[in-house]
Amino acid sequence: MSGGVVGAGAALAAPVPLDVTAGAVAGASKLKISSQPRARTVAAGKTATFAVKVPRGAKVTWQVRKPGSKKYVTIKGATRTKLSVRATTKLDGALYRAKVAKGKARATSSSARLTVVTKPRFRTSPAAVTTAYGRTASFTVAASGGSVAFTWYRKLAGSTKFTKVGTGTKLSIKATASLDGARFRAVARNAAGSTTSRTVLLRTGSAPRITTQPRITVVEEGNDAAFTVAAAGEGLTYTWQTLEVDSLEWRTAGTGTKLTVPAVGVARSGLSVRVLVANRYASVTSEEVGVLVRPTSTAPGVPAVPYAVGNLLSLWLDKAEVVDLGSDYPAPGAGFQYEAAAFMAYDLDERPVTASSLTFGHTGADGTEYEVVEVVDVFEAFSEAFGEDAVDNEAGLVLLMPVVKVPVGAHDGLWSVTSTSGATPSTAYFDLC
């Protein structure tokens, strides 16, 4: 015997495993349930129908275990082979089963789950995007409502029609000029229906382009350092940043196409400078350049900091140390010792630097000038000892080790370097003691 409400509008799914094994009471004939109830997924307010197929004359009683409960309870008046349930959100996850009896035989069906869904609700709506040509524009959505499928639609500027352009929770597209002004939206669908997101706008345009990069600036100790930049693009803004030698934090230093760093002392030599050029579509960062100060005898440089010697970027790698040049070298003489330091230089105009264009000197604290007995070209020495392939110096650096003879214990005074590679000789002074 069958009956019940018709028109459940439900989707079929595999039944959940039996929680009570179908079978018969001991000593009674076996009672077979030939068709088990199936799980249903329906929209809230719709009807879900569960059914069993049992032998003629068998009595059927339906039971439900509601969400959060551990017990099945009998549904009053539910005695037909079909059970129709009006789905509500409170019944989402409820389990239904049929208990069947005929004579002394008993059997319990498998349990079927009721899943109740509501129309999707957007928890994350797409956001408008402004980006530059060639970059990726991404739109993202998220919605509640169980198993939800998303479809993306686009309407180009000047069009009246939305067209399908993708699926899933995220849409990523390459920005082009033809997409400027396009509108995007997503439609979320599940068993209960569909919901449309808000419509958002994509704006695309040209990113800024730096046409003239700022350059390394060489200044005398205490002078201002000036930097300039030029860029192409609409609606440009400029933000200059500086990074001190002993810092890891870039700091804003100015705006506009020019930057002046006032009264740069030797302690700030090696200061790094860059500029961020931006418009509403994108931003670009210039090359990092810096300030090189030419140390004087009254404001000398120190090791491990970059300085200027003429048009050279120079760096003493460490303080001067007493050295033993070995038995092949003449002894310094009674009361004297050899000291040496490592000096590296690079021409800012990318011209080769030669040892012959540099002259080193050492003056003691009392004003006495001491002899520079040798200047070792380190790269050349390596090549002679290990072969030309031992040194890769495409950058055109020079690495030199000047050796001076000074009185024992007279570890003070100033070292000097004079470059003759420029239009006029230029001398810089260093405290390496």
**pLDDT-based confidence at residue 29 (cuts at 50, 70, 90):** low
Q: 52-61, 140-149, 153-162, 388-397 — which is least confidently predicted?
A: 388-397
Q: CA-to-CA distance for 237 and 24, rounded, in angstroms?
A: 84
Pairing verdict, β 225-228 and 258-261: antiparallel
Longest CA span, the chain: 127
What is the pLDDT averaged over residues 112-118?
95
CATH 2.60.40.10 residue ranges for the chain: 11-117, 121-205, 209-292
Asked if 148 contacts 189 with a C-beta cutoff of 8 angstroms, the reply is: yes
Residues 111/114/115/119 CA torsion (nearest 10 deg): 170
Classified as helix, coil or strand, 325 is: coil
Per-residue pLDDT at 14 = 38
Q: CA-to-CA distance for 417 and 375, rounded, in angstroms?
A: 12
Per residue in 170-182, pLDDT (tens digit) is 999 999 999 999 9
In sequence order, what are the residues at sequence separation of 6 or more whose Cβ sits closer than 8 angstroms to the Cβ of residue 271? 225, 242, 243, 244, 245, 261, 264, 290, 291
Greater confidence, 393 or 120? 120
Q: How big is the chain by its Cα radius of gyration, in Å?
A: 42
Q: Is the pLDDT of residue 424 over 60?
A: yes
Residue 422 exposed, middle or buried by CB count within 10 Å (0-12, 13-18, 19+) = middle
Q: Name the CATH code of domain 121-205 (choices 3.20.170.30, 2.60.40.10, 3.40.190.10, 3.40.50.720).
A: 2.60.40.10
Q: CA-to-CA distance for 133 and 393, rounded, in angstroms?
A: 39
Answer yes or no: CATH 2.60.40.10 is held by domain 209-292. Answer: yes
The architecture (CATH level 2) of 11-117 comes to: Sandwich (2.60)
Q: Is the pLDDT of residue 31 over 60?
A: yes
Per-residue pLDDT at 187 = 99
- Token pair, residue 73, equals 């309870």
Residue 194 exposed, middle or buried by CB count within 10 Å (0-12, 13-18, 19+) = middle
What is the pLDDT averaged over residues 95-108?
96
Residue holding tokens 């879900």?
48
Per-residue pLDDT at 330 = 84
What is the pLDDT averaged over residues 122-131?
98
In sequence order, what are the residues at sequence separation of 6 or more whose Cβ sits closer than 8 angstroms to the Cβ of residue 56? 1
Per residue in 215-232, pLDDT (tens digit) is 999 999 999 999 999 999
In sequence order, what are the residues at sequence separation of 6 or more whose Cβ sits closer than 8 angstroms to the Cβ of residue 329? none
Give the N- to C-terminal CA distance of the chain in Å, as an integer.
109
Per residue in 298-326, pLDDT (tens digit) is 999 999 999 999 999 999 999 999 888 87
Q: Is the pLDDT of residue 4 over 80?
A: no
Question: What CATH class is the domain 307-430?
Answer: mainly beta
